[in-house]
Amino acid sequence: MSDFLSVVWNVDPAIFSIGNYSLRYYSLLFVAGFPLGYWLFYKFYKRENVDVSLIEPLLYILLIGTIVGARLGHCLFYEPSYYLAHPVEILKVWKGGLASHGGILAIVFCVFYYAHRYGRKNGFDAMWMFDRLAIAGSIAGCLIRCGNLFNSEIFGGPTDLPWGFKFPYSLEWVNMYGPSVYPPDGVACHPTQIYEALSYLILGLVLLWLYWKKADKLYKGTLFGIFFIVLFTMRFLIEFIKNDQVDFEANMQYNMGQLLSIPFIIAGIIILVWSLKKKLPLLREGWDEEPQAPKDNDHRSNLTKEQRMSASKRKAMGLQ
């Protein structure tokens, strides 16, 4: 198989190391999605007159939920027998093993909690949140897949396309496709991390454009439905050229990533049909009204009782 113009991806996964501690590109890119999401939600909340102080608890809830859900998703979906026999290993997140399906499931529960606690008093519900999270989540997913590229993991099978990648930092690539297996230089593989990253980025930018330019013509749930359908359809298709992540997938017609994607695609279709049927506005009610200043900020609140009286009343009481 020709490796003409193939890319040798010999990037060290660690940015720097101090003793046994290493800061990896993956960690940096994973975390980078949260300040980016914070900035996007600041824009969303300002546009629709929602109190921006509510973004901080949202950030904490989603950060904890994403990590816990993604870790449990990997342990229970991909290697349940091992982790149920060694439950302490579940806590060792630094050893790797996060599943996007588990992370998204956790985010769904987190959003219902957040909307229940803060939404009723501020004029939004869970579906309102999901529509906007679809935008931030797509772009965050792009960053995470770029992190997988820096980790030289989750790549595809052999290819003779000119953009094929070789991963000398990956023990999996060395053992399956390296020079000792395919002399003299090994074979290039599909950079499926890049395929997914690009598809998620394009999805996120399209959803963002729809929100800013076409929001008055869209309905609540439309963005979220599109997000589930497109993202998990792309995931399902790209999985066909990915290597198996765990041994038990070898004899499966559809791997675990594909099986887990199907319910999300179905959910996206149901949400989109519900959205088109209900025809509820995408933007929050009262989004275009001028926000009223809180009573505590009224300039009169700093005046004494006598100063707040009318001039005639003060004169009558002998205060002038």
Domain boundaries of the chain, sorted by first residue: 7-316
DSSP alpha helix (H) spans, the chain = 25-47, 55-77, 80-85, 100-114, 120-122, 126-150, 171-177, 192-214, 222-238, 256-278, 305-308, 311-316
Q: Could you read off the pLDDT of 57-84 as tens digits, one per residue?
A: 999 999 999 999 989 988 888 888 888 8
pLDDT (0 to 100) of residue 4:
56
Confidence band for 250, pLDDT divided at 50, 70 and 90 = confident
Counting Cβ atoms within 10 Å, is residue 63 exposed (0-12), middle (13-18) or buried (19+)?
A: middle
pLDDT (0 to 100) of residue 34:
94
**Cα dihedral 106, 110, 113, 116 in deg (nearest 10):** -120
Rounded to an integer, what distance in angstroms lies between the CA atom of residue 246 and that of residue 230? 25
Counting Cβ atoms within 10 Å, is residue 87 exposed (0-12), middle (13-18) or buried (19+)?
A: exposed
Which among 137, 144, 147 is positioned nearest to 107, based on CA atoms?
137
Rounded to an integer, what distance in angstroms lies between the CA atom of residue 23 and that of residue 25? 7
Confidence band for 92, pLDDT divided at 50, 70 and 90 = confident
Report the share of the chain in percent with pLDDT over 70.
Answer: 88
Among 85-99, 102-116, 171-185, 272-286, the minimum mean pLDDT is found in 85-99
Does the pLDDT value for residue 249 go beyond 50? yes
pLDDT (0 to 100) of residue 287:
65
CA distances from 204 to 107, 135, 143, 218, 292 (A): 17, 5, 12, 16, 32
Among 119-128, 148-157, 219-228, 287-296, the minimum mean pLDDT is found in 287-296
Among 125-139, 214-228, 249-263, 282-296, the minimum mean pLDDT is found in 282-296
Structure tokens at 287: 């989004």
pLDDT (0 to 100) of residue 316:
42
Rounded to an integer, what distance in angstroms lies between the CA atom of residue 38 and that of residue 297? 26
Q: Can you give the pTM of this predicted structure?
A: 0.84
Does the pLDDT value for residue 6 go beyond 60? yes
Does the pLDDT value for residue 166 go beyond 50? yes
74 vs 267: which has the higher pLDDT: 267
Among 95-104, 147-156, 273-282, the minimum mean pLDDT is found in 95-104
Q: What DSSP designation does 149 have?
A: H
Residues 6+ apart with CB under 8 A from 267: 228
Pairing of strands 21-24, 14-18: antiparallel
What is the three-class DSSP state of 19?
Answer: coil
Does the pLDDT value for residue 13 go beyond 80? yes
Q: Is the separation of the CB atoms in 193 and 146 below 8 Å?
A: yes
